[in-house]
């Protein structure tokens, strides 16, 4: 009788501990970044940095206000989706979007620097910054040299 009671309690304790561990699961990168609004602020700063950077500004200066808004929306959606948020990026894939643009390695590096600058301005912590850059790094092969 005693063994079954202990077994029953042990199972209940294990289930309770597993439930507690599940509720202690770490929030997604999206949540740790502050959600959609925080991402939108970073994107605003990022695009402003791109326009101000002579290394890449030529690709952005001619954009009309509706095009800038669409770019910011797409960037926010991409970051939101890539970090586990509830957004869906509905724009073109990176390879076709950059086809014929011949983006150079130097331009890629400048773009990443400008994103880091925007993340730093918004005081995004090192861990989240590194995770975000890692999540976006896979796009490089579809952007550079196309």
Give 35-94 pLDDT, tens digit per residue.
999 999 999 999 999 999 999 999 998 999 999 999 999 999 999 999 999 999 999 999
Q: Is residue 62 part of a domain?
A: yes
Q: In the prediction, which pLDDT does 1 show? A: 47
Model confidence band, residue 146 (pLDDT cutoffs 50, 70, 90): confident
71 vs 79: CA distance, rounded Å: 12
Q: Is residue 23 part of a domain?
A: no
Number of domains the chain is built from: 1
Nearest partner of 140 among 93, 75, 87, 94, judged by Cα: 94
Q: Is residue 18 part of a domain?
A: no
Q: Is residue 97 part of a domain?
A: yes
Stretch (H or E) spanning 6: helix 2-23
Can you tell me the mean pLDDT for 126-133?
Answer: 98
Output the domain CATH number for residue 123. 1.10.490.10
Q: Is residue 7 part of a domain?
A: no
Instruction: Report percent pLDDT > 70 for the chain.
Output: 84
Nearest partner of 90 among 111, 68, 75, judged by Cα: 75
Q: Is residue 48 part of a domain?
A: yes
Q: Is residue 20 part of a domain?
A: no
* Structural domain span for residue 34: 28-143
Mean residue pLDDT of the chain comes to: 89
User: The whole model's pTM is what?
Assistant: 0.82
Q: Is residue 81 part of a domain?
A: yes
Query: What phi and psi, each to the nearest 5 degrees, are found at residue 103?
Result: -65, 130
């Amino acid at each position: 009788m005693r063994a079954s009671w202990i077994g029953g309690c042990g199972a209940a304790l294990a289930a309770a501990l597993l439930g507690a561990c599940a509720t202690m699961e770490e929030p997604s990168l999206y949540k740790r970044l502050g959600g959609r609004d925080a991402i939108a602020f970073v994107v605003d700063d990022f695009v402003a940095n791109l326009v101000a950077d002579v290394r890449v500004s030529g690709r952005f200066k001619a954009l009309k206000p509706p095009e800038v808004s669409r770019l910011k929306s797409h960037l926010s959606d991409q970051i939101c989706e890539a970090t586990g948020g509830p957004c869906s990026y509905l724009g073109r894939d990176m390879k076709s979007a950059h086809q014929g643009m011949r983006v150079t390695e130097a331009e890629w590096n400048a773009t990443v620097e400008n994103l880091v600058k925007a993340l730093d301005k918004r005081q995004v912590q090192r861990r989240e910054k590194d995770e975000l850059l890692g999540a976006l790094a896979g796009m490089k092969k579809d952007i550079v040299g196309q």
